[in-house]
Amino acid sequence: MTTTDSVPAGGDPRAPGGDLETRSVAMHDDPRFRELRSRLLRFVVPLTIAFLTWYLLYVVMSVYARGFMDNKVAGNINVALVFGLLQFVSTFGIAIWYSRYAGRRIDPLADELRAELEGTPGGKQS
């Protein structure tokens, strides 16, 4: 049984104008939805490229610049270890940055669109 089979002939009573599937498809044409996707991509794509470049730099230098990576920084800590630890730092940093960015720029618009799509009054989720 599909979602449209379980909806009465009058549509979803929570949202005039059609069932959830029809409204979901129509939402893709909404300029706010396109803005939401654009905001997400403007953050995710550059940071993904930057992180992958940073990671590949670490891998390539570990293979082809062993002399540099073997340089001692302090005691038995060398450049390779520092680079490796910085991979973790950058991963957590990006996750925290994304969380803050999403809270400001993505989540409010997504909540608004979700509430409209589900026909929830005032944007409150049950």
pLDDT in tens, 1-53: 444 444 444 444 444 556 777 877 878 888 998 999 999 999 999 999 999 99
Which residue in 88, 113, 123 sits closest to 26, CA to CA? 113
Quick one: pLDDT at residue 41? 96
Quick one: pLDDT at residue 124? 53
Residue 122 lies in a domain: no
Beta strands in 6-114 (DSSP E): 72-74, 77-78
Residue 34 lies in a domain: yes
Quick one: pLDDT at residue 121? 59
Residue 106 lies in a domain: yes
Q: Rounded CA gap, 113 and 34, in Å?
A: 11
Residue 43 lies in a domain: yes
Given a cut of 60, whether residue 93 has pLDDT beyond it is yes
> Where in the sequence is the domain holding 109, given as residue range(s)?
20-117
pLDDT digits (tens, 9 = 90+) for 105-123: 999 999 998 888 887 755 5
Residue 45 lies in a domain: yes
Domain total in the chain = 1
Residue 6 lies in a domain: no
